[in-house]
Amino acid sequence: MSDRVASAASPADVIVRLPELVNGNAAVLRRGRYLNTEMMIEIGATPYHLTIVQGRIDGLSPGPLLMRSWSFAIRGGDDAWRQFWAPRPAPGYHDLFALTKFGQFRIEGDFRPLMTNLLYFKAVLEAPRTLAANISQ
């Protein structure tokens, strides 16, 4: 399998592993140690609500969750997430803001927690690439 192609696992299967990938990574936890927020990641039509407490993903709930609040949301289609989580994403699929610029992702809500902890969120959202890298080896 090419290292630019995402694994056969669906983005829904991948995101449920996000808490274990983040909470088991001391470097990521150190970056987010002062962060407490709630965010939403939307994959296709399914929203996933994340509760982050001191950098740890304390809760991940698939939606739709009516009246559930969040600070900010990152929304994208299945294919965009699949390509973003490839071990070596193609140009334009390698970064949150590149995907936003090309219309594949939308970022909504309060940008303060995202921008204040940008390196943390980039590390969190790139964590599933290790899963695809392990499969393609």
Q: CA-to-CA distance for 79 and 84, rounded, in angstroms?
A: 8
Map residue 31 onto helix, strand or coil. helix
23-50 pLDDT tens trace: 999 999 999 999 999 999 999 999 999 9
- The full set of domain ranges for the chain reads 11-132
pLDDT classification of 132: cutoffs 50, 70, 90 = low
**Residue 93 Cα distances to 6, 34, 48, 88, 130, angstroms:** 11, 29, 21, 9, 16
Stronger pLDDT, 1 or 58, i.e. the higher one? 58
The answer to whether the peptide bond before residue 64 is cis (omega within 30 degrees of 0) is yes
Q: CA-to-CA distance for 33 and 27, rounded, in angstroms?
A: 10
Architecture of domain 11-132: 2-Layer Sandwich (3.30)
What integer pLDDT is reported at residue 4 of this predicted model?
Answer: 47
